[in-house]
Amino acid sequence: MAEIDGTIEEMLLPYPEMVKKNRKKHLIVKDEAAACCPQIEANTRTIPGIISQRGCAYAGCKGVVVGPIKDMITITHGPVGCGYYTWGTRRNKARADDTTPPEKIYSTLCFTTDMQEPDIVFGGEKKLAKMIDEVVAAFHPRAINICATCPVGLIGDDISAVGKAAQERHGISVIAYNCEGYKGVSQSAGHHIANNKIMENVIGTGSERKPGTYVINILGEYNIGGDGWELERILKEIGYTVNCVLPGDSSYLDIKTLHLADLNLVQCHRSINYIAEMMETKYGIPWLKVNFIGVESTIESLRRMARCFDDDPLEEQTEIVIARETARIFPVMEQYRKICQGKTAFLFGGGSRAHHYRHLLADLGIEVSVAGYEFAHRDDYEGREVIPTIKTDADSKNIPELHVTADPILYRDAHTRLNMSREKFEELSSRVQLGYYEGLYPHLKDGHIMVDDYNNHETEEMIRALKPDIVFTGIKDKYITHKQGVPAKQLHAYDYSGPYAGFNGAIIFARDVANALSTPAWKMVTPPWDNYDNAQGSEDNA
Amino acid sequence: MHKEVKTMLECVPEGSVVHTTGKINPAKTCQPIGAMYAALGIHGCLPHSHGSQGCCAYHRMHLSRHFRDPVLASSSCFTEGASVFGGAANLKTSIKNVFAIYNPEIMAVHTTCLSETIGDDLPNIIKTAEIPEGKVVIHVNTPSYQGSHITGFSGMVKAMVSYLAQAEGAEKKNQLNVIPGFVNPGDMREIRRIVGLLGVKMIMFPDTSDVLDSPLTSKYEMYPKGGATIAEIRDSANSSATLALGAWASNDATDLLQEKFGVTGIPLKLPIGLKATDDFIMAVKDWFGIDVPASLATERGQVVDTLIDTHFHYQGKKVAIFGDPDHVIALTEFVITMGMIPKYILTGTPGKQFDIEIQKLLSGAGIEGSKVKAEGDLLELQQWIRAEPVDLILGTTYGKYIARAEDIPLVRVGFPILDRAVHPLMPVVGYRGCLRLIEQISNALLDRRDRDCLDEDYELVL
């Protein structure tokens, strides 16, 4: 412990006093002797000038939550860059299905109003309205999203009014998101804005429930590298009907019927917990935090969700699929485990992955000594019980809260949805922890470090001091890590591989990690003449 | 035999559509990323984005994806408060923190649409900021609602001149400035090699070689050894001439050097292709009166030899070219040299001169019926191609959707290339670059011939 504290002190040394004071609050060392998680500062402003990895509200709204909806045309209202950088860069895979033919999929296109100086000076509303008209005439989309960028809010373009007018003109839904980049302190603000608008405008407007006994949604699954498809494969084999995966490979039509499921699974808590919570209030649908990253975590998640339906055949089928899948993948995992066993890793994600992937790494015998998030809130670190104690500040106040109430027609008590008595539901609820997330901290071991809003300087220094065998992080850190002589894997884009979720994903991840650790070039870093000269030198000295 | 693949972009309507507003599949991005890239070509520089965090994150990500190397830059981290009250405090805090923590020699600040819309007065903010002794802060205004990444690059290079260049006297030194344009570090390295062979002392800025193509040694340096030093850029005012490689990216700084310090500006194309490389070498020869060494004559001769040996692989083929204006102009000239027909020529960057330059090349070659457009987008390009197909597309990674949908081979050249590696290290400029382009174009067409032909037409020797 003292050693780790020393490492942190040293790392903070170059910081000016104000920065040091601030950053200390974002760094927690796990102390197993302590009764509970010490409070971490999270979801607060990044200090100007610090090379943080954070993005903006627009990135969280358009880039993360609404961009992947495959049959909606998302128009970025702003100068060209914002739309351009979110064009095909997050690997949310999409394909045609029963309700969405290929000609209704717009995922590989980029729509931007490309605002020019006169639009900034005189306003861009007319341009936006005209672009909507042209897009509707040319593409006939089912619905349209409008995402605002920084200047839009500053010049006062009323995108909601433009959207509303267009909606009336064209008879399709046009949803406006005021996700200007300066809102909030990170992508997180954009997640919240997107959650609110989808809740307000889309969920609950459809009426056709998909057939099945166990109808579920997976919320906060982005289908990066096909993760969502692997989960659907497993869940279908067990006998679930996956009503909708939000938003990975989802369609506007699917999202309309989100309220017709019996259970919401929450994969990425940070980005989608708002919808899960609001759906519980409005429709009575319970939610279960799951983790489908890692073999053991997937098994545990499958068992917990089966318990929710209190149905023996379902639990039996769950065990059959688990037994079959593990028999198939364990021998394959084993060969990679031999390479990975005993290694240490750093794990940096957005707001969920630093927790999720530590279990998959544990499956491979890799221990995570430093874990960090870009934009998590205190509940993602400390557990949801801290939510009532989180203080709102000037930045969080700027994100509107959507207050929903029970729907007079569509609300049904959770226990009736799960087909059990109220008493039984309450017993179940505490047993599988419905509507709860414990956060990252309980999963850390003594002396492990938890970092909020992790930044370049600290990552670099911790790599130097703690010498991990591999670092899992984003593209901005990846090559810096390589230059330090340490392998790095992209945790957001999977180095263009995947899926990493579920059983098949575990094998692919294991292979990729083993390859990253063992690629022969790591042994070739030092030129032969360097060793030669050193050897000669030491002989001379002797 | 042409295979119908059609597994991509099914949503794009058949036939022409009314598309007059905004961009669908843009062929440009915003100014700040160009400014950030240019700034990385100064030694010991930390680029700084004066806006919200998202801009800086996007630019770093995109540059990292193209170069597969570290791209560091800081941000003013605007929140709603700064957006209302102005970003002066954020920039001053940034400057203080950046020098304390990251200790660069120089900080190169560019603005964003956010800080521009607010109207932050950068010169005044910088003037009143705490800048440590011996350190430098420069800035450029790069509102994202004007120009493109190319004009942002140009603006930052111009800022290097306006802030740093200083004449020592009226007399000029026997040295040459080269402004290489928005090209890869491999291209800049090649330009340096060629000028070295010509025996002329050169100051090149920006210079991202040894910055964004740095070796892996396990000894990480935040500021790699490459980049033009402040002293070199300062000394550019004393050079006798500046070669501006590519008008869009390099003319502004070159013109300023001429206006302010009387350094003769020589406007050239990017030295991509045989003729543009000839022009580049002749410009150096004419100005300094040097002899061109035999080694360069050999390299040139190899290009001519290869062109003659392989012309039947590509001559007469129709090609669509899109990307940044300086690249597209030079590539158009080169494919004409190769005997190909540039059918569609498009850039996303605005500028009337684009059409004029391309038309000059087309009419010089007697080519008619080509479509040329500046400030265009890739939906438009796809619609042209659907109406009348081409044999090859030359452009960035973003062309890959059209290539698949319309089943046309794509040769990747320019910025950005996000789905292939090694390209930032391999020059397309100079005679060596000609060979690379010929090889890529020839291979793409031959791979397609091999893929599509009947068994009885599948041949060993081509």
Query: Which pLDDT tens digits describe chain A residue by residue (542 residues)?
Result: 678 889 999 999 999 999 999 999 999 999 999 877 899 999 999 999 999 999 999 999 999 999 999 999 999 999 999 999 999 999 999 999 999 999 999 999 999 999 999 999 999 999 999 999 999 999 999 999 999 999 999 999 999 999 999 999 999 999 999 999 999 999 999 999 999 999 999 999 999 999 999 999 999 999 999 999 999 999 999 999 999 999 999 999 999 999 999 999 999 999 999 999 999 999 999 999 999 999 999 999 999 999 999 999 999 999 999 999 999 999 999 999 999 999 999 999 999 999 999 999 999 999 999 999 999 999 999 999 999 999 989 888 889 999 999 999 999 999 999 999 999 999 999 999 999 999 999 999 999 999 999 999 999 999 999 999 999 999 999 999 999 999 999 999 999 999 999 999 999 999 999 999 999 999 999 999 987 866 665 555 54
Chain-chain contact of B113 with A79 (C-beta, under 8 angstroms): yes
Of B23, B25, B80, the CB nearest to A182: B80
| HSE of B123, CA atoms in CB hemisphere, 13 A | 3
| Judgement on whether residues B306 and B441 belong to the same structural domain of the protein | yes
Whether B104 and B250 map to the same domain: the answer is no
pLDDT in tens, A224-281: 999 999 999 999 999 999 999 999 999 999 999 999 999 999 999 999 999 999 999 9
Residue showing tokens 């040769």: B411
Among A13, A186, A479, A497, pick the best mutation site for testing chain B contact (most B Cβ within 10 A): A479
CA distance B329 to A397: 51
In a 13 Å sphere around the CA of A463, the CA atoms on its Cβ side amount to: 29
Long-range pairs for A250-254 at CB < 8 Å and ≥24 separation?
A: A250/A68, A250/A69, A250/A70, A251/A69, A251/A70, A251/A71, A251/A97, A251/A99, A251/A100, A251/A104, A251/A142, A252/A69, A252/A71, A252/A72, A252/A142, A252/A143, A252/A173, A252/A202, A253/A71, A253/A99, A253/A100, A253/A142, A253/A206, A254/A99
Q: Are residues B335 and B437 in the same domain?
A: yes
Query: Is residue B120 scored above 70 in pLDDT?
Result: yes
Of the three residues B164, B198, B218, the one that is the final residue of a domain is: B164
Interface size between A and B, measured as CB pairs under 8 A: 263
- The whole-number pLDDT of residue A1 equals 66
Give the integer Cα–Cα distance in Å for B336 and B315: 9
Contact A150 B64 (CB under 8 A): no
Distance from CA of A524 to the nearest CA of B (A): 10
**What is the reported pLDDT for A534?**
67
Question: Which pLDDT does position B116 carry in this prediction?
Answer: 97
The number of domains in chain B is 3
Determine the distance from the C-alpha atom of residue A11 to the mean position of all C-alpha atoms in its chain, rounded to a whole number: 28
Output the pLDDT for position B297.
98
The predicted pLDDT at position A34 comes to 84
> Cα–Cα distance between B458 and B450 in angstroms, integer?
6
Closest-CA distance of chain B to residue A88, Å: 10
Within-domain flag for B194: yes
Q: Which residue has the higher pLDDT, A542 or B100?
A: B100
Q: Shortest CA distance to A43 belongs to which of A31, A60, A30?
A: A60
- Asked if A139's CB is within 8 angstroms of B97's CB, the reply is no
- Do both B376 and B435 map to the same domain? yes
Backbone φ, ψ for residue A311 (5° rounding): -140, 115
Q: Is A224 helix (H, G, I), strand (E, B) or coil?
A: strand
pLDDT of residue B322: 98
Residue B262 domain-assigned?
Answer: yes
Per DSSP bridges, beta strands B23-24 and A111-112 are: antiparallel
Q: What pLDDT, on a 0 to 100 scale, did the predictor assign at position B1?
A: 44
Q: Are residues B177 and B130 located together in one domain of the fold?
A: no
Check CB contact under 8 Å for B218 and A138: no
Min Cα distance A392 → chain B (Å) is: 15
- B267 forms beta bridges with B244
Cα(first)–Cα(last) distance of chain A, in Å? 41
Give domain status of residue B14, yes or no.
no
Chain B partners within 8 Å of A17 (Cβ): none
**B98 shares a domain with B83:** yes
Contact B10 A483 (CB under 8 A): no
CA-based nearest residue to B408, from B24, B28, B3: B3
For the entire predicted model, the pTM comes to 0.97
Co-location of B251 and B240 in the same domain: yes
Q: ipTM, 2 decimals?
A: 0.97
Task: Find the CB nearest B13 among A15, A115, A139.
Answer: A139
**Helix-strand-coil percent breakdown of chain B, rounded to 5?**
45, 15, 35
Instruction: Tell me: do B376 and B426 sit in the same domain.
Output: yes
CB A449 within 8 A of CB A370: yes
Cβ contact, residue pair A50, B144, below 8 Å: no
Structure tokens at A147: 């995402």
- Closest CA of chain A from B129, distance in Å: 13
SS3 A173: strand
Which chain A positions have a beta carbon within 8 Å of B29's beta carbon? 80-81, 84-85
Of B57, B64, B97, the CB nearest to A50: B97
**B196 and B78 share a domain?**
no
What's the farthest any 2 CA atoms get from each other in chain A? Answer: 89
Domain shared by B207 and B139, yes or no: no
CATH-assigned architecture of domain A57-182: 3-Layer(aba) Sandwich (3.40)
Q: What's the domain range around B270?
A: 173-293
pLDDT value at position A35?
75
Identify whether the C-beta of residue A150 lies closer than 8 Å to the C-beta of residue B50: no
Is residue B209 domain-shared with residue B64, that is, in the same domain?
Answer: no
Segment B432-456 shows an average pLDDT of: 98
Tell me the catalytic residues of A: 56, 59, 90, 191
Å from B314 to nearest chain A CA? 30
CB pair distance less than 8 Å for A49 and B93: yes
Nearest-by-CA chain B residue for A106: B11
Say if B21 falls within a structural domain.
no
CA atoms within 13 A on the CB side of B370: 26
CATH code for the domain in which residue B190 is found: 3.40.50.1980
Q: Above 70 in pLDDT, residue B4?
A: no
Q: Is residue B444 part of a domain?
A: yes
* Cis? peptide before B416, omega within 30° of 0: yes
Taking CB atoms and an 8 Å limit, are A483 and B217 in contact across chains?
Answer: yes
Residue B241's identity, in one-letter code, is A
Contacts of A100 in chain B (CB under 8 A): none
- Domain-ending residue, one of B293, B309, B339: B293
- State how far the Cα of B404 lies from the Cα of A409, in Å rounded to an integer: 48
What's the pLDDT score for residue A37? 81
CB contact under 8 Å between A19 and B97, yes or no, is yes
Mutation site for A-interface testing, chosen from B10, B58, B125 by largest number of A Cβ within 10 Å = B58
pLDDT in tens, B127-140: 999 999 999 999 99
Distance of CA B186 to the CA centre of its chain: 12
Q: Which residues of B touch A130 (CB under 8 A)?
A: 20-21
Q: How confident is the model over B145-174, as a mean pLDDT?
A: 97
Q: What is the pLDDT of residue A537?
A: 59
Same domain, residue pair B451 and B437: yes
H-type alpha helices, A159-225: 159-170, 187-201
Contact between B301 and B430 (Cβ < 8 Å):
no
Single residue among B111, B142, B164 that ends a domain in this structure? B164
> What percent of chain A shows pLDDT beyond 70?
98
Q: What are A167-215's pLDDT values in tens digits?
A: 999 999 999 999 999 999 999 999 999 999 999 999 999 999 999 999 9
Q: Measure CB to CB from residue A79 to each of B59, B70, B144 and give the nearest one.
A: B144
Helix (H, G, I), strand (E, B) or coil at A373: strand
Structure tokens that stand for B88 in this block: 């002066």
Residue B409 lies in a domain: yes
Residue in A closest to B51 by C-alpha: A182
Using CA atoms, how far residue B127 sits from A340, A428, B107, B122, B133, in Å, is 54, 65, 14, 8, 13
CA-based nearest distance A404→chain B, Å: 26
In a domain, B142, yes or no: yes
